[in-house]
Structure 1
Amino acid sequence: MSPDVFRPDKGGEPLEAERLCLLALAVSVPFVRRAVAKCLSAWGLDDLVLPCTQVVTELAANSVAAADAERTSKPHGRASGTFTVHLSRTPTRLFIEVGDASSEPPRPQTAAEQDENGRGLILIEALADCWGWYPGDPEGKVVYAAWNLPGVPTAARPTEARQ
């Protein structure tokens, strides 16, 4: 599914939710991966642990890279040193949202075979039922991924509408 089709806040009231605010450092990436895995297991969503942790790892790593780029471009200015992760479950969907201070929208890249980077959004698109992004409040952006929950009939899932 193409990005920017659906906003998580249009998916109904969450049954459960967790929010983390982390320093935009490389050591935060494995921490958030473990936290998401633990949360999903506690919610009884063990089948989604692997795809969700892979997606949140990619999104968190992108947030850390964006913060590093901002720190490099503004060595004497104030750069945001945090990112947020919001995990929520509605009756029909699971959402992961990662927000950071960069206002640059996510853009798919073409990676050569030997490139170490450039495949993240392709991975996210393959692992999630949908993904997208929206401007952060008051600045920056939020990138999200969503999964339809197993056992919910397709007709009962929320309709996706363009913004």
Structure 2
Amino acid sequence: MSSVMTAAATGVFPAVDQHASDVRRMLLAALDARHAPIADDAVLAAHELFANAVLHGSQSPHDTITVTIEHSDTVVWIGIKDHSPCLPRPRFSGPQDTNGRGLCLVEALSNGWGVIPHRPGKTVWFTIHT
């Protein structure tokens, strides 16, 4: 079993909600049979981070969001890069709130997540062990 990470795919998407399905398709195509047990969790967590990047990390639909997936035999790493310097922070939503659970879901579905600041922007990433 190899622990060397392989860059499986990178896509650049317009910062609009309608491209979330394109992100899901890219991720599912990049994952192989070894990753089948965690594919749904990985796609859901990435969808949440993409939605956050659209909502909080983009100032116009002309902005772009870069999605990168790398994997080894034992781990999948997914990063979502936007152009906003604002760092994400988990919120604790009440039962009647309709949003604010994205980072909590990422934390629950993944083995870890974090932020890599860039100029401009940042990459919010997570890992899931296979």
TM-score (norm 2): 0.88
In structure 1, give the amino acid aligned to 2:123.
V
What runs of 5+ residues in structure 2 fail to find an aligned partner?
none
Q: Which has the larger radius of gyration?
A: 1
CA distance in 1, matches of 2:114, 2:50: 15
CA distance in 1, matches of 2:78, 2:102: 15
Residue 141 (1) aligns with residue 111 (2)? no
Residue 26 (1) aligns with residue 20 (2)? no
Residue 51 (1) aligns with residue 57 (2)? no
Q: How far does the alpha carbon of each residue in 1:49-94 deviate from its partner, in whole angstroms, 9 at most, with x for none?
A: 11001001001111111255x23xxxxxxx8610000000134321
Aligned-residue RMSD, C-alpha: 1.9
- In the alignment of these two chains, the number of paired residues is 128
What runs of 5+ residues in structure 1 fail to find an aligned partner?
1-11, 72-78, 150-163
TM-score (norm 1): 0.71
* Identity across matched positions, percent: 30
Residue 94 (1) aligns with residue 94 (2)? no
Change (3 A) 1:21 1:35: same
Q: 2:97 maps to what in 1?
A: 115
CA contact (8 A) 1:80 1:101 kept: no
Residue 129 (1) aligns with residue 111 (2)? yes
1:62-81 alignment runs, 5 A limit: 62-68=52-58, 70-71=59-60, 81=63
Q: How far does the alpha carbon of each residue in 1:4-60 deviate from its partner, in whole angstroms, 9 at most, with x for none?
A: xxxxxxxx75234210010101111111012212221x3531111110010010011
In structure 2, give the amino acid aligned to 1:140.
G
Q: How far does the alpha carbon of each residue in 1:128-157 deviate from its partner, in whole angstroms, 9 at most, with x for none?
A: 011111102x310100010123xxxxxxxx
